[in-house]
Amino acid sequence: MEIFLEEKKSKNLKTEAVVFGIFEDSDFSKKENFPNFKKEAERAKFKGNLGESFFYSEKLFEPKKQVLFVGLGKKKDYGSQQARNSAALAVRKLQERNILSAEFWLHPEEAKDKKIEIISAITEGLILTNTKYQRFITDKEKISKGIEEFFICVKKEDKDFEKGLKIGEILSEAVLFARDLITSPSNEITPQYLAEEALSLSKAYGFKAKIMDEKECEKMGMGAFLAVAKGSQNKPRFIHLSYKAKGAKKTIGFVGKGLTFDSGGISLKPAEGMGAMKSDMSGAAAVLGAMKALGELKPKVNIEMVIAACENMPSGSAMRPGAIIKSMSGKTIEVQNTDAEGRLTLADALTYIQKQNVDEVIDLATLTGACMIALGTDIAGIMGNDNDFVDYLLKISQKSGDALWQLPLESNYIRFIKSPIADVCNISRVRWGGAITAGLFLKFFVENKIKWAHIDIAGPAYRDDDLNENHRAEGAGFGVRLLAKYALENS
């Protein structure tokens, strides 16, 4: 797959198709080179809305090309999300006709103060939609080649467009890196495998790396993390990467939940759908993907990244319901459900990262089904102890394509996770508000002086349908662009 920028004055491109973006509020009766456009648009019930598209009835231009129109919505609302999703829609439509090369006129010039952002988004939409996970398909006839050549067309050359293309390519590769980790089978992606991937990134980009085994974690008092890991033959690994930028004035902490497989432990999950629990390390994949992107982009901000990687398995040595464990913070936890394990690993990870002189912490975790019930499969829930910090991340999410919605950390709900025999219980004693009580559990391990945001990505982390640039039965790489763009904004 290759992707190029082309300006309007260049010679006619030898492509099989051309895609034109149409704004909802444009004049359909004045479309040069398309005398029947209005009539054909009406027949296709095309109004230029987002998500709409149709192929023109005949091939046009020289050489003859198939012509696809996609809706961009209202011109005043045109931004990265609209550009990314329209590019993704176009790729899907072209793939249905096995087209191998195409040019795209999606009007990045219309967003004058967002040209870098728009070109980056278009690039992401093209690359990510065109790339599917096919590593284990042995029948070559079933393997989709996808589109081989993309040309993003602009009216005139601009250095911002070139910069946007480069950023889009870097972010796309980082998201694909995360998607591969999530989608690959759990017999391959073990805690040790994640540790090796982290070491590879450290060698490629000069990050400082520290990988701790269970003995080292035990010395540090990580009783909550190790309690979860006890039931598996695959040993845990605590992963720490550091990115130091010369002259940086701020240090951000990234924490990713790293359950490479979650059976539920003794509180065993139902068999249906358990295979998807290979994706319970989507938070870890996201922070690793973000580090890959930042290794390329080199923002002027320090990053500390940690992952408590392990498996949650049932065995004679596994953590049991009713157990009381001591966390790295010294606080004790009553375990009433071993399937509420991610928050235990995160408790120690949060304690550890706060000792790294960070100013802010963002954790990403496939934490609760309750968040999916509240927000569905496309939106992640965000909670935190500083509203300005949360608002900033919400603003970034509108650019990155990682949809967030704020949930309240209602302090009254702490009563639901109180334990009569320990400092806190790992599960709520009531059925409702599970995403919030999980967030409150994590907050119990965060010092007040640290700005902290928790993002529950249980819904959008692993796709059960095709959506925008995501593919069914694959990891989405949700959060990679959010974290990378947030770091860039703080550069």
Question: Catalytic site residue 472?
Answer: no
Q: Which residue's structure tokens are 């911002």?
A: 160
Alpha-carbon distance 490 to 84, whole Å? 23
Q: Which residues contact 131 (CB under 8 A, 6 or more apart)?
A: 1, 146, 176
Q: Which residue's structure tokens are 């940086």?
A: 248
* Token reading at 368: 């609760």
Residue 188 has phi, psi (to 5 degrees) of: -105, -45
Alpha-carbon distance 221 to 208, whole Å? 23
Q: Which of 230, 343, 399, 451 is catalytic?
A: 343
Least Cα distance to 367 among 201, 256, 482 occurs for 256
Q: Which of 38, 163, 269, 331 is catalytic?
A: 269
Alpha-carbon distance 77 to 86, whole Å? 13
Task: Output the CA torsion 190→193→199→205 (10° steps).
Answer: -100
DSSP 61-122: TTTTBEEEEEE---GGG--HHHHHHHHHHHHHHHHHTT--EEEEE--GGGSGGGHHHHHHHH
Task: Output the CA torsion 332→336→339→345 (10° steps).
Answer: 0
* Token reading at 198: 């982290």
Q: Is 384 helix (H, G, I), strand (E, B) or coil?
A: strand
Long-range own/partner contacts, residues 36-41 (CB < 8 A, 24 or more apart): 41/69
Question: Catalytic site residue 65?
Answer: no
Active site residues: 269, 343
